[in-house]
Structure 1
């Protein structure tokens, strides 16, 4: 088993999680103003990515520029890993490749302190990606505990590039925001990403 094989129901049962599904869980988080550079980049890239309509195009043309923008605005306060293997607990299915990991650490060559796990929605179905995302969040939590990293909350994201859904894991409690944020709300998206990294 691997991260991608988990559904929300199976990950909840396997790891004895409690889920809370509410609207606007992240509504009070401050926005982060999008730069002119990112605005221009997205205006150019989004039509190309949507026309191609592949996960790879969305990843490269939409998601990656947004994550790099967050890194720039936070003065490189985290490191970004794309498509890396993250085997934490193979016996429990917490193994496989992660689309993106944001790590609150100066280490650039390996993941040292994961704080945000981001999953690209397969077939543009965000809800189907929730189980994989939560499994990766649980793995990040276990990893940080083993490494004695003082990180108490892991954030999660499932995105198509144009639609973004955010989650938060603290102890055994998973909060899932029922609201989806659209690319037109880029300042809110950047704000929530920033909060996940800095908290």
Structure 2
């Protein structure tokens, strides 16, 4: 069934026999945000309709943040938008965004390993994490390296939550971040990208 069929965290934990824990595992790593980005985001948030749908949240609030950090890592990774991800009939669908290794064959090749799965939800973080965790399981199985971290992000645009899957253990970061504190949010996303870069080595 598609990723979107998973509605509760408990159902994903049971189906895939994953142990759930919560702890603060993120080490904020400073990222310099341009004045242009700050001003552009502020204008968008003040005068634009940014959260009337999951598509609007993706385009106006999530993708701009991800893209700004990705630009510093673009030689190693491709940030895919709404790309099909399929492991089997129970694990398939279209995550909002996927951070994947940049293929030596060029940017048109959707290559593994897959490192970060990002889901947008207007307010239902339970369903968002259920869907994101299923996507993380699919990525882990496609990567064929269960000991390698796969990261997940669920956001309604304003609030951002972070987790990671390693083997059969899922850890959700206790602390969540908001787009109102842009420096800390960027520091977290930057740390995750940096961990992915380390795993490529």
Q: TM-score, normalised by structure 1?
A: 0.87
Q: Assess if the C-alpha contact under 8 Å between 1:17 and 1:173 holds in 2.
A: yes
Q: What corresponds to 1:167 in structure 2?
A: 163
Looking at structure 2, the residues matched to 14 and 137 of structure 1 have their Cα atoms a distance apart, in angstroms, of 14
Q: Assess if the C-alpha contact under 8 Å between 1:49 and 1:58 holds in 2.
A: no
Is 1:178 the counterpart of 2:174? The answer is: yes
- The alpha-carbon distance between structure 1 residues 190 and 151, as it changes in their structure 2 partners (threshold 3 A), is farther
Looking at structure 2, the residues matched to 192 and 185 of structure 1 have their Cα atoms a distance apart, in angstroms, of 11
Q: What corresponds to 2:100 in structure 1?
A: 103
Q: What corresponds to 1:120 in structure 2?
A: 120
- For these two proteins, the number of residue pairs brought into alignment is 190
- The alpha-carbon distance between structure 1 residues 187 and 136, as it changes in their structure 2 partners (threshold 3 A), is same
Of the structure 1 ranges 37-46 and 183-192, higher mean CA displacement relative to structure 2 is found in 183-192
Mind listing any 5+ residue stretches in structure 1 that lack a counterpart? none
Deviations 1:130-161 (A, max 9, x none): 1111111111111111xxx7971011000111
Looking at structure 1, the residues matched to 16 and 66 of structure 2 have their Cα atoms a distance apart, in angstroms, of 29
Matched position secondary structure for 1:152? coil
- The alpha-carbon distance between structure 1 residues 150 and 96, as it changes in their structure 2 partners (threshold 3 A), is closer
Q: What corresponds to 1:153 in structure 2?
A: 149
Q: Assess if the C-alpha contact under 8 Å between 1:114 and 1:144 holds in 2.
A: yes
- What is the deviation of 1:76? 4.0
Q: Assess if the C-alpha contact under 8 Å between 1:49 and 1:62 holds in 2.
A: no
Q: Assess if the C-alpha contact under 8 Å between 2:73 and 2:193 holds in 1.
A: no
Following superposition, which runs of at least 4 residues in structure 1 exceed 3 angstroms of deviation?
none
Q: Assess if the C-alpha contact under 8 Å between 1:78 and 1:197 holds in 2.
A: no
Q: What corresponds to 1:60 in structure 2?
A: 59
Matched position secondary structure for 1:44? helix
Q: What corresponds to 2:45 in structure 1?
A: 46
Mind listing any 5+ residue stretches in structure 2 that lack a counterpart? 196-201
Deviations 1:95-137 (A, max 9, x none): 111111011224422321210000001x322232111111111
Q: Assess if the C-alpha contact under 8 Å between 1:55 and 1:120 holds in 2.
A: yes
Q: What corresponds to 2:199 in structure 1?
A: none
